[in-house]
């Protein structure tokens, strides 16, 4: 991946840094821990390890620039994992699921406080989240979820009246919905580049433009790049969408699918009129959800998940370009906001998110070498969970026996997709069925029975676990 085509967030963050200083790996290095991947997961993990054991010698190697992957191009929507609770509970058990929901919720203030304490400002605004229904079929979609959260004393959601939902979301298209105060938005690339700087200040060595090409694990663990190598006692692989290509034993654990976004020019007055001059995040109740938020300088970001699926989980070139559904996104935006019909869109982009079969992340040890650790599978919802991921991976690397390392989240992939080519063909068939079903629902028609059954197979890859059928 190069940074030639990047998200506006990433370009903005790099511009603010002025002249880039890039250290590449051209030597033989020795460290206690080598982390591969300089996104949120790699950086939070490194920072957590330093906090717990300040003398640990840590090296991060990143194939492009820190943040050039999902961390510097995501939507910046901070969404805890509460909407995944019923599925998590079934799969990892109530205790682990409750801990994960709480940890992902606590992450929002922890990240915010961390940035304040370390004097950098990724424009965090904690104004909550709305899951909105845009059609009658989607009304009341969170009621079961809320009951389950309430049974476990972890509910933060409330159903609001149509009027309140429309006021909060700025759109008459939203006719019902739920609000939680635990959520908000930020400028994602400022967060990841800020973490990089703090990591360097704390003595963590970072090599960029230094791809791990292979590793050797005979008597020593050695990570190799084109011009250098790092010998280490523990290797943490935090390469997100690239993980299944690197570790074949994980190739069936995720499916890579794009999330696509557009962003407007600054339209402060219009944003103010829509009552969207705050950090609220709005998602609709489709499986491949539309989502939007504004920025502190008055731009509107509008996106949708679930468009391009890649065969064999390869990080294909189109993930590093403009969105192939830019026109569709523009039209959808106007459906939500007719007053923005003539608003100029300044850029579209996309990127691969790794959807797990379960819909939530997992962590594990390489089956042949417990000193090699990995964690990924945030399924398009990673800003808060990667903070938790840093806590988990740091515990695994430091061999702590705690509630995370003993949990079912650290047992590798629990469920798998079928092998290729069935995975990819199945994904396309299901995606198209979901589109037809949601289109019918939007027009108050009953979806075709087959499409309904096929769409059920996809529930794990949406952001919300339980929408009534
Ligand atoms: C388009 C898009 C929109 C999203 N929107 C949201 C959102 O609004 N809210 C939300 O919570 N989450 C969102 N997500 C998910 C979130 O961005 C991710 O879950 C999160 O950034 C994952 O962080 P990471 O560090 O694990 O991965 P990444 O940030 O992808 O970092 C992995 C790094 O590994 C590097 N790498 C890969 N292979 C190698 C190698 N061989 N050697 C060295 N380095 C390597 C890559 O260059 C990359 O920098 C979105 C994701 C995408 C793609």
> Of all atoms in ligand 1, which is nearest to the CA of residue 211?
42
Range(s) within the chain of domains with CATH label 3.50.50.60: 8-73+189-253+359-410
Which residue's CA is the nearest one to ligand 1's atom 35? Answer: 37
State in Å: Cα 69 to ligand 1 middle.
Answer: 5
Q: 396-417: per-residue pLDDT in tens?
A: 999 999 999 999 999 999 988 9
pLDDT at 2 over 80: no
Please tell me the distance from the alpha carbon of residue 196 to that of residue 200, in angstroms, as a whole number.
6
Q: Is the dihedral of CA 161, 285, 358, 456 positive or negative?
A: positive
Nearest Cα neighbor of 38 from 71, 81, 1 is 71
Q: Which fold has domain 124-188+255-355?
A: D-Amino Acid Oxidase; Chain A, domain 2 (3.30.9)
- Choose the residue to mutate in 13, 240, 321 for probing ligand 1, maximizing ligand atoms within 8 Å of C-beta: 240
Tally of CA atoms within 13 A in the half-sphere of 99 that contains its CB: 16
Nearest Cα neighbor of 306 from 256, 347, 345 is 256
Spell out which residues line ligand 1, taking CB within 6 angstroms: 1, 36-42, 61-64, 68-71, 73-77, 79, 211-212, 238-242, 259, 350-353, 376, 378, 380-383, 386
Which residue's CA is the nearest one to ligand 1's atom 14? Answer: 380
State in Å: Cα 227 to ligand 1 middle.
Answer: 25
State in Å: Cα 226 to ligand 1 middle.
Answer: 23
- Choose the residue to mutate in 39, 313, 373 for probing ligand 1, maximizing ligand atoms within 8 Å of C-beta: 39
What percent of the chain is predicted at pLDDT more than 90? 83
Give the architecture (CATH level 2) of 8-73+189-253+359-410: 3-Layer(bba) Sandwich (3.50)
State in Å: Cα 70 to ligand 1 middle.
Answer: 3
CB-based contact 44:103 (threshold 8 Å)? no
CB-based contact 279:300 (threshold 8 Å)? no
Nearest Cα neighbor of 284 from 176, 359, 379 is 176
What percent of the chain is predicted at pLDDT more than 70? 97
Q: 141-178: per-residue pLDDT in tens?
A: 899 999 999 999 999 999 999 999 999 999 999 999 99
Binning pLDDT at 50, 70 and 90, where does residue 460 land?
low
* Predicted local distance difference test score (pLDDT) of residue 157: 98
Range(s) within the chain of domains with CATH label 3.30.9.10: 124-188+255-355
- Choose the residue to mutate in 41, 239, 263 for probing ligand 1, maximizing ligand atoms within 8 Å of C-beta: 239
pLDDT at 364 over 60: yes
Alpha carbon 194 to chain centroid, angstroms:
18
Which residue's CA is the nearest one to ligand 1's atom 4? Answer: 74
- Choose the residue to mutate in 382, 388, 389 for probing ligand 1, maximizing ligand atoms within 8 Å of C-beta: 382
pLDDT at 434 over 90: no
């Amino acid at each position: 991946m190069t940074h030639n085509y990047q998200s506006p967030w990433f370009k903005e963050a790099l511009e603010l840094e002025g002249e880039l200083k890039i250290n590449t790996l051209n030597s033989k290095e020795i460290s206690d821990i080598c982390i591969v991947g300089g996104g949120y997961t790699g950086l939070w993990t490194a920072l957590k390890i330093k906090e717990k054991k300040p003398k640990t010698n840590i090296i991060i190697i990143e194939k492009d620039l820190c943040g050039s992957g999902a961390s510097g191009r995501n939507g910046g929507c901070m969404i805890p994992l509460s909407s995944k609770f019923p599925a998590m509970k079934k799969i990892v058990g109530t205790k682990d699921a409750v801990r994960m929901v709480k940890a992902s919720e606590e992450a929002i203030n922890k990240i915010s406080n961390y940035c304040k304490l370390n004097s950098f400002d990724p424009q965090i605004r904690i104004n909550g989240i709305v899951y909105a229904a845009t059609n009658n079929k989607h009304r009341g979609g969170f009621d079961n979820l809320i009951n389950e959260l309430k049974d476990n004393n972890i509910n933060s959601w409330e159903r609001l009246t149509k009027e309140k939902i429309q006021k909060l979301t700025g759109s008459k298209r939203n006719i019902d919905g739920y609000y939680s105060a635990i959520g908000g938005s930020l400028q994602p690339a400022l967060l990841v580049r800020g973490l990089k700087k703090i990591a360097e200040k704390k003595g963590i060595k970072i090599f960029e433009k230094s791809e791990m090409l292979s590793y050797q694990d005979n008597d020593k663990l050695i990570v190799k790049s084109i011009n250098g190598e790092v010998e280490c006692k523990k290797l943490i692989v935090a390469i997100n969408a690239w993980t299944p290509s690197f570790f074949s034993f994980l190739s069936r654990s995720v499916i890579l699918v794009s999330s696509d976004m557009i962003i407007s020019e600054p339209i402060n007055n219009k944003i103010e009129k829509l009552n969207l001059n705050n950090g609220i995040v709005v998602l609709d109740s489709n499986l491949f959800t539309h989502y939007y938020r504004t920025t502190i300088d008055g731009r509107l970001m509008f996106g949708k998940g679930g468009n391009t699926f890649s065969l064999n989980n390869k990080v294909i070139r189109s993930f590093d370009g403009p969105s192939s559904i830019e026109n569709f996104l523009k039209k959808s935006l106007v459906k939500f906001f007719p007053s923005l019909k003539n608003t100029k869109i300044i850029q579209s982009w996309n990127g691969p998110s790794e959807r797990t079969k379960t819909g939530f992340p997992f962590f594990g040890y390489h089956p042949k070498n417990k000193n090699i650790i990995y964690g990924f599978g945030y399924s398009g919802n990673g800003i808060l969970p990667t903070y938790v991921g840093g806590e988990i991976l740091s515990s695994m690397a430091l061999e702590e026996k705690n509630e995370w390392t003993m949990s079912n989240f650290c047992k590798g992939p629990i469920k798998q997709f079928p092998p290729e080519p069935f995975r990819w063909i199945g994904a396309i068939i299901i995606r198209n069925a979901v589109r037809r079903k949601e289109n019918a629902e939007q027009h108050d028609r009953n979806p075709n029975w087959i499409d309904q059954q096929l769409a059920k197979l996809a529930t794990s890859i949406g952001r919300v676990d339980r929408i009534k059928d």
